Amino acid sequence: MAHIWRGVINEYAGYIPEHIKKTVVTLGEGGIPLIRSSAIEHRLSNFGLQAEVYIKFEGRNPTGSFKDRGMTGAISAEKAKGTSAVICASTGNTSASAAAYATAAGMTSAVLVPDGKIATGKLAQAIAHGAKLLQVDGNFDDCLVIARGLAENYNVGLVNSVNPNRLQTQKTASFEIVDELGDAPWVHAVPVGNAANISAYWMGYKEYSDAGNAVNKPVMWGFQAKGSAPIVDGRRVENPETIATAIRIGNPASWNLATAAVEESGGLFDAVTDEEILVAHRILSSEAGVFVEPASAAPLAGLLKKAEHGKLKMAFDELAQIRTGIPKIVFTSTGHGLKDPDWALYDVNLKPKEGSQPIKVKNSIEAVANILEL
């Protein structure tokens, strides 16, 4: 039977609050199939581990990141309220998504981004969709304080993930995973910045299993970047630093929700270095065939580190007491590589990568064949 994907609100209407469903604004987000990666399974087998590994590649969303899942909820609810202008703070992806959905809803948008630390592709998106783009002389956390203050004092809707409507639709990513696998995976790994996504996933897994659609829930593993790891360090980071600019956040707004998700699920938080992130980024692009932005490589970096240190084996052994079959891992790659493509051109030491320049060649079959050593 013909079926046009109608976006996550309509597809999962039974799980979405009424006030979000009144006036649905969608760009057809979600409906993203898992990618099973034999290359990454092979990497794990080098550590003596047998597992099925699936990538939830959220870069396939309409604006190229997972933010669209939450934004459809936030903008739909604002539309129903009659809001005409929305605002957000962003490391880039939220601003791209907010700008696109606001435009589709006939609203104006303004986005606050930290000075000088936003990937070009994301800035271009916000501008293309007509957002008023303000670069604040401060970091993401400063931008969020301003955005909250504006929404409290002026007639403008806040569409950051502190807006609960965001999580209500962002949680659908878990539903899709369970629908495909028939149950929750054993382990689910995500990158953590402002800490909403890991919270939304956990909310989704709980709701879906409470509704009888899954027998189990996964353990949630959250990975932060080393220079921006407030939850791992147990304290705010005043000047967060990492090449993974999407998760360059020192004071996550959903800190408590994320901690609850990890505790309730029996999971963990850990930090990965920029170098580990770039190694995982390279594995994803050159072995798995999936091009992501650096933040999106953090969960694979974390999983490989845990595999190397024997921690993944320990987790599998423990989970084997309640789960059967081959362990299943899902990790979320949150944003598309085209947002921040420069990283394809650098090696793990941040030096220009060998072979990243095109080879100039004469306009002839023979010349090209020669260079390709055919």
In the complex, which residues of this chain contact ligand F0G (CB under 6 A)? 65, 67, 90-94, 161, 191-197, 246-247, 293, 295-296, 334-335
CB of 365 to ligand F0G, least distance (A): 42
26 versus 197: smaller Cβ distance to ligand F0G: 197
CB of 113 to ligand F0G, least distance (A): 8
Q: Give the Å distances, CA to CA, from 173 to 8, 75, 207, 305, 357.
A: 9, 18, 12, 25, 37
CB of 166 to ligand F0G, least distance (A): 9
178 versus 220: smaller Cβ distance to ligand F0G: 220
Q: Cα 225–187–270 angle (5° rounding)?
A: 25
Q: Per-residue b/e over 11-35, b at no fewer than 16 CB within 10 Å?
A: bbeebbeeebeeebbbbebbebebb
51 versus 110: smaller Cβ distance to ligand F0G: 110
CB of 76 to ligand F0G, least distance (A): 19
105 versus 147: smaller Cβ distance to ligand F0G: 147
8 versus 195: smaller Cβ distance to ligand F0G: 195
- Report how far residue 249's alpha carbon sits from residue 235's, in angstroms, rounded to the nearest whole number: 12
CB of 85 to ligand F0G, least distance (A): 18
- Report how far residue 35's alpha carbon sits from residue 55's, in angstroms, rounded to the nearest whole number: 5
DSSP letter string, 150-179: HHHHSS-EE-STTSHHHHHHHTHHHHHHHH
Q: Give the position of tokens 């024997």.
A: 310
Q: Can you list the alpha helix ranges (DSSP code H) found in the chain?
A: 8-11, 18-21, 38-45, 67-81, 93-105, 120-128, 140-153, 164-170, 172-181, 196-210, 230-233, 255-265, 274-283, 298-308, 311-319, 365-371
What pairing do the DSSP bridges indicate for beta strands 52-57 and 328-333?
parallel
- Report how far residue 334's alpha carbon sits from residue 57's, in angstroms, rounded to the nearest whole number: 6
51 versus 334: smaller Cβ distance to ligand F0G: 334
Q: Give the position of tokens 């609810």.
A: 77
CB of 313 to ligand F0G, least distance (A): 27
165 versus 197: smaller Cβ distance to ligand F0G: 197
238 versus 317: smaller Cβ distance to ligand F0G: 238
Q: Give the Å distances, CA to CA, from 373 to 4, 172, 363, 369, 370.
A: 47, 49, 16, 6, 5
* Residue 143 contacts residue 83 (beta carbons within 8 Å): no
Packing angle of the helix pair 120-128, 93-105 (nearest 10 deg):
10
CB of 6 to ligand F0G, least distance (A): 24
77 versus 98: smaller Cβ distance to ligand F0G: 98
CB of 60 to ligand F0G, least distance (A): 13
- Report how far residue 268's alpha carbon sits from residue 239's, in angstroms, rounded to the nearest whole number: 24
Q: What are the beta bridge partners of residue 270?
A: 223
CB of 189 to ligand F0G, least distance (A): 12
